[in-house]
Structure 1
């Protein structure tokens, strides 16, 4: 082979290799809901934070939804801001974003959809906005996720459901207005059950599925799509298809929420399956949605449950 032909062959090989690299898909973003006690443990102990962040980095989880409200007799996002600043800086140094997680069984925040409690919902978000306004750029929350579920109220039934869902929308609108007034741009979105797409509701003169009202209002949704099969009937993809299609049309994002804790029926969770089986299902979802503009990756429920699932339970707090 002449030198010229050799150079041409080398150039072609190089171009083909570059094209192959360019076509190699990157893993979708992965987040994890992290509730009160594990969040506070990470805030209180640099060693616990370092171990947790190393685990997240090892498992390619690049967003942590970190609890940022009152628990017990403390509310460090308001009174111990340095704890959040230190943790967020440490996470950012590892390439991990931090969203403020709002909503809590401890505070019974499902009640916040009731008009008399809307001020509490606005106040919990305002504390995060105030924190960010006072923090240096590298110590700010990257977003907010709120988990407020009206269907957990004792009064949730067919007759009261429209009123409670309108309360959720009114509350969400008030929270988004607080963000607008703050001048901040961090994305804010709720955890939302996949079955809200089956409930038609008139709100502010428009009748459409509740899921579409929510997507219109907020920056993104974390869709609680709790199934352990990617495709087929009653599957992750089948339950997300309407939300994904609508979010694609209106330019919003959907994070697919998955469950890893024990529950009944078994189809709700990956608990009891092995990690390879989960990754196979996740791969099917990425193959289906990877090029869709609405797809914003996954969020896992929850930190402790996911660690148990992969066989690396969180160390006991000292």
Structure 2
């Protein structure tokens, strides 16, 4: 009897473990400094990829633009080839992350700067065209946030959001012209579903225009509770419904860095608390084709959150 009881307990424990195993894809935004460190140091790359694998993070949004006067994707593409090849060997996909506080890329929504936005993506497309299949980016995520502009206010926001849509249309056209099929999509605030806008003869929420234009969206759904009127599920409801109707996909973006108010981030909570809330989101979206998993903001913040900061930090 004792042996049977132990076996039953073991099976129950196994079932509990299976229930907590993440089933939806997990990605992480990785910004300028950490990305360049991974590219330029095999040790940093190996440590990062091992960490991502342990944490079941199977997509890394790797910064792929200029930083501190250098642009490695253009000047030293072999560094990206080596990293992407190593990531693919661990079944980790790599998206090119475009947009930068350092470069003030929020300006790219302005007509006079949109050529810079196209050049930013074109460098990635040119890199992919020259690389072997195993060395190519698997997708692109661009983080261009017009609300960061000093001129953003109630009087200008519709004009700036139209600039974002114009810029996005230009980026998607550049992808089509390249003949490449990698998914391209933006980071998008959840509150854009509450702003209606006329664009190209259609009046609808900005979020719907963006979903129409792009292959997917990474929704910046920065809350630390799944349920309730101010929770993750409530803020993603409209985007998920529209993406489901239009055959598009939504990645739920979550925050792990310090911030105010506290509800914006999982910072200060326990990993078990996060996993409980993530499981609620997964359960709510199970079977919905629009749900493409989670993306975490950002690599260093998430490593601190789970108590494994990179060595040398």
What is the aligned partner in structure 2 of residue 203 from structure 1?
199
3-state DSSP of counterpart to 1:154: coil
Tell me, yes or no, if the aligned pair for 2:22 and 2:56 is still in contact at 8 Å.
Answer: no
Matched, 1:290 2:286: yes
Output aligned runs, 1:69-108, within 5 Å.
69-108=65-104
- Give 1:290 deviation, angstroms: 2.1
- Give 1:39 deviation, angstroms: 0.1
Tell me, yes or no, if the aligned pair for 1:33 and 1:66 is still in contact at 8 Å.
Answer: yes
Tell me, yes or no, if the aligned pair for 1:101 and 1:145 is still in contact at 8 Å.
Answer: yes
What is the aligned partner in structure 2 of residue 117 from structure 1?
113
* Runs of at least 5 residues in structure 1 that lack an aligned partner in the other structure: 1-19
TM-score (norm 2): 0.93
Superposed CA deviations along residues 121-177 of structure 1, whole A, max 9, x for unmatched, are: 000000000000000000000000000000000000011001000000000000000
Distance 1:305 1:26, change over 3 A: closer
- Give 1:78 deviation, angstroms: 0.4
What is the aligned partner in structure 1 of residue 12 from structure 2?
none
- Give 1:26 deviation, angstroms: 6.1
What is the aligned partner in structure 1 of residue 238 from structure 2?
242
Question: Aligned partners of 1:314 and 1:216: how far apart in 2?
Answer: 39
Output aligned runs, 1:1-318, within 5 Å.
27-316=23-312
Tell me, yes or no, if the aligned pair for 1:28 and 1:290 is still in contact at 8 Å.
Answer: no
Question: Aligned partners of 2:24 and 2:76: how far apart in 1?
Answer: 34
Question: Aligned partners of 2:239 and 2:312: how far apart in 1?
Answer: 39
Question: Aligned partners of 1:154 and 1:51: how far apart in 2?
Answer: 39
Question: Aligned partners of 1:263 and 1:253: how far apart in 2?
Answer: 28
Which structure: larger Rg?
Answer: 1
Superposed CA deviations along residues 250-307 of structure 1, whole A, max 9, x for unmatched, are: 0000000000000000000000100000000000000001210100000000000000
Tell me, yes or no, if the aligned pair for 2:253 and 2:297 is still in contact at 8 Å.
Answer: yes
Distance 1:307 1:26, change over 3 A: closer
TM-score (norm 1): 0.92
Tell me how large the CA RMSD over aligned residues is.
Answer: 1.2
3-state DSSP of counterpart to 2:67: coil
- Give 1:316 deviation, angstroms: 1.9
Superposed CA deviations along residues 22-49 of structure 1, whole A, max 9, x for unmatched, are: x988610000000000000000001110
